[in-house]
Chain A
Amino acid sequence: MHTKPKKYSVFSLIKNALSYHENWQPAWRSPDPKKEYDAIIVGGGGHGLTTAYYLAKNHGLTNIAVIEKGWIGGGNTGRNTTIIRSNYLWDQSAALYEHALKLWEGMSQELNYNVMFSQRGVMNVAHTLHDVRELKRRWHANRLNDIDCEWLNTAQVKEFCPIINTSPHIRYPVLGATLQRRAGTARHDAVAWGYARGADAMGVDIIQNCEVTNINISNGHVSGIETSKGTINSKKIGIVAAGHSSVIGSMVGIRLPLESRPLQALVSEPVKPIIDTVVMSNTIHAYVSQSDKGELVIGAGTDGYTSYSQRGGFNIVEDTISAVVELFPLFSRMKMLRHWGGIVDICPDASPIVSKTHINGLYFNCGWGTGGFKATPGSGWVFAHTIANDEPHELNAPFTINRFSSGELVDEHGAAAVAH
């Protein structure tokens, strides 16, 4: 029987402390799949869970299931560098990511779950004259889209982030930076857990350790899925499988313009607070921030080949570390603690696909590539709208799969803060 979860508060914390924290209820149930649902979401990462959450909350569809091969948030949701920003160049992307950023701002309150959203600012550093021009162009594009953005000169960069190396004598000197103060970071696991708890409270079944092996179609309409836990029927199926989207697509003959590649990240040993913002550099390809635990969180680039092996080459790590050390020489003796890879699904135009397909009732949300975490709530919001109404939300209307035929690409390569 489904019992409504108890609200987290300072009182529940005190009450549970008195019983040695042994009586907290699970944050979500682990039900067996039903025979049939009104909608099935394949993929229990951030985007899948937010899709389920907003299907239940905004569209009243509560008889739904989230099917996850491993455990929720165990894929790219738990592997990214947690950076959130909305300073994209093109109007279509800016609108989508800004919508997501606004949802981030109210997320902890809405979910009654602390996602540790910290608007510590994201600084995109320019190292060449070309960088300066590109970033100033983006700064103005952001201002025209009502997205907060500032231009900092070298002295202002140094003032905002005192540990950065602004010497004019390094190979790629700091010539300036854009700063989005509303941007920042969040605890990535908490986002998955918070949305899972929120969706579960509205009756969504979250089914983990359940792999989808086939999609059933009758008369051009989806009828259900085959899984490692048996057949589950549904007339609406949303695929949010990130790196495995092409694998799912190939089950029903849908070809996607995706390449799945390893993207690596690493964290250092924890140290006292040293960097209170996020610094990103496109040219020398590094981004670094500090987690609340004190670890430096460093993002690397993608490897240049497709792979599903969730690990990449050490040469990529070496390139990234050398860039970080040039920008922050004081990090040169830090030890790296952990290092991992995630498989990202990259679109030719580096923009996502949130779209209907030619099969009725089958929807795809994929292609977020290297920058999907920041869009987590917005992605679920528009995908839930697309599934519930069988029509895209105005924010994801430009991100159909048909744009590759029409030529209306949303080319964010390089226009995004970091090119992969």
Chain B
Amino acid sequence: MFLINCPYCGEREQVEFSCGGEAHIERPKNPSDLTDDQWADYLFMRKNIKGVQFERWNHINGCRRWFNVARNTATDEILKVYNIGESAPSISGNNPTTPSGEPVIGSGNLSSSFEKK
């Protein structure tokens, strides 16, 4: 549960939005040349990052427009909202210090003894 700053409507609750998944996945330019594995990669495989992830959101219960969001999936902190068509910004944010570790602040999983403060 978090707030998203819609570039067109302003800050609203996440429940008004629909997440369109990973951003910057390009449709293959030469579909007929792709192997089955390449199609599978395009259709199904996702980065599913723990840390800063770039994703598409739609203000489905508002202006119904699409935009991109840089969000830290370990903390749900939104770092940047930018337009569709723009390339991903370079943001590192409060990434977990180890691949599966928990961020120092903002994690819902403080019960983990790992990196517990």
Interface centre among A248, A250, A251 (most CB of B within 10 A): A250
- Residues of B13-63 at the interface with A, using a CB-CB cut-off of 8 Å, are 14-15, 18-19, 21, 36-37, 39-41, 43-50, 53, 55
Is the C-beta of B9 less than 8 angstroms from some C-beta in chain A? no
Taking residues whose C-beta sits less than 8 angstroms from the other chain, chain B's interface range is 35 or more
Output the nearest chain B residue to A260 by Cβ-Cβ distance. B48
Contact B48 A211 (CB under 8 A): no
CA–CA, A250 and B48, complex, Å: 9
CA–CA, A305 and B14, complex, Å: 10
Contact A258 B48 (CB under 8 A): yes
Residue among B14, B43, B53 making CB contact with A313, cutoff 8 Å: B14
Is the C-beta of B81 less than 8 angstroms from some C-beta in chain A? no
Is the C-beta of B112 less than 8 angstroms from some C-beta in chain A? yes
Contact A307:B76 (CB < 8 A) given known A70-B113, A406-B36? yes
- Kindly list chain B residues whose C-beta atoms are within 8 Å of the C-beta of A307: 73, 76
Is the C-beta of A273 less than 8 angstroms from some C-beta in chain B? no
Interface centre among B19, B36, B48, B76 (most CB of A within 10 A): B48
CA–CA, A111 and B113, complex, Å: 29
CA–CA, A306 and B74, complex, Å: 10
CA–CA, A209 and B102, complex, Å: 13
- Kindly list chain A residues whose C-beta atoms are within 8 Å of the C-beta of B10: none
Chain B nearest Cβ from A229, distance in angstroms: 12
Output the nearest chain A residue to B96 by Cβ-Cβ distance. A308
Contact A211:B114 (CB < 8 A) given known A247-B100, A314-B1? yes
- Kindly list chain A residues whose C-beta atoms are within 8 Å of the C-beta of B101: 211
- Kindly list chain A residues whose C-beta atoms are within 8 Å of the C-beta of B1: 311-315
Chain A nearest Cβ from B85, distance in angstroms: 21
Contact A315:B15 (CB < 8 A) given known A259-B21, A310-B108, A405-B40? yes
- Kindly list chain A residues whose C-beta atoms are within 8 Å of the C-beta of B73: 260, 306-309
- Kindly list chain B residues whose C-beta atoms are within 8 Å of the C-beta of A184: none
Contact B99 A308 (CB under 8 A): no
What does DSSP make chain B's interface, helix, strand, loop or mixed?
loop
Residue among B15, B98, B107 making CB contact with A309, cutoff 8 Å: B107
Output the nearest chain A residue to B37 by Cβ-Cβ distance. A405
- Kindly list chain A residues whose C-beta atoms are within 8 Å of the C-beta of B18: 304
Contact A250 B47 (CB under 8 A): yes
CA–CA, A108 and B15, complex, Å: 43
Contact B46 A258 (CB under 8 A): yes
Contact B48 A309 (CB under 8 A): no
Chain A nearest Cβ from B75, distance in angstroms: 6
CA–CA, A366 and B1, complex, Å: 26
Chain B nearest Cβ from A37, distance in angstroms: 20
Is the C-beta of A33 less than 8 angstroms from some C-beta in chain B? no
- Residues of A63-79 at the interface with B, using a CB-CB cut-off of 8 Å, are 69-71, 74
Is the C-beta of B90 less than 8 angstroms from some C-beta in chain A? no
Is the C-beta of A12 less than 8 angstroms from some C-beta in chain B? no
Is the C-beta of A257 less than 8 angstroms from some C-beta in chain B? yes
Contact B100 A405 (CB under 8 A): no
- Kindly list chain B residues whose C-beta atoms are within 8 Å of the C-beta of A310: 107-109
Contact B112 A69 (CB under 8 A): yes
CA–CA, A71 and B43, complex, Å: 35
Contact B114 A69 (CB under 8 A): yes
Chain B nearest Cβ from A54, distance in angstroms: 25
Contact A248 B76 (CB under 8 A): no
Using an 8 Å CB-CB cutoff, how does the interface string of A248-266 with B read, 1 for contact, 0 for none? 1011000111111000000
Contact A248:B46 (CB < 8 A) given known A70-B113, A74-B111, A405-B39? no
The interface of chain A, by Cβ under 8 A from chain B, is 69-71, 74, 209, 211-214, 228, 241, 244, 246-248, 250-251, 255-260, 304-315, 341, 348, 404-407
19 further interface pairs, Cβ-Cβ under 8 Å (given A256-B46, A315-B1): A69-B114, A70-B113, A70-B114, A209-B114, A211-B101, A246-B50, A258-B48, A304-B18, A304-B19, A307-B73, A308-B74, A309-B76, A309-B108, A309-B109, A311-B108, A341-B108, A348-B43, A404-B43, A405-B36
A sample of 21 inter-chain contacts (CB < 8 A) reads A74-B111, A74-B112, A211-B99, A212-B100, A228-B114, A246-B47, A246-B49, A246-B50, A250-B49, A255-B45, A256-B45, A306-B55, A307-B73, A308-B50, A308-B73, A309-B73, A309-B108, A310-B109, A313-B1, A313-B15, A404-B40
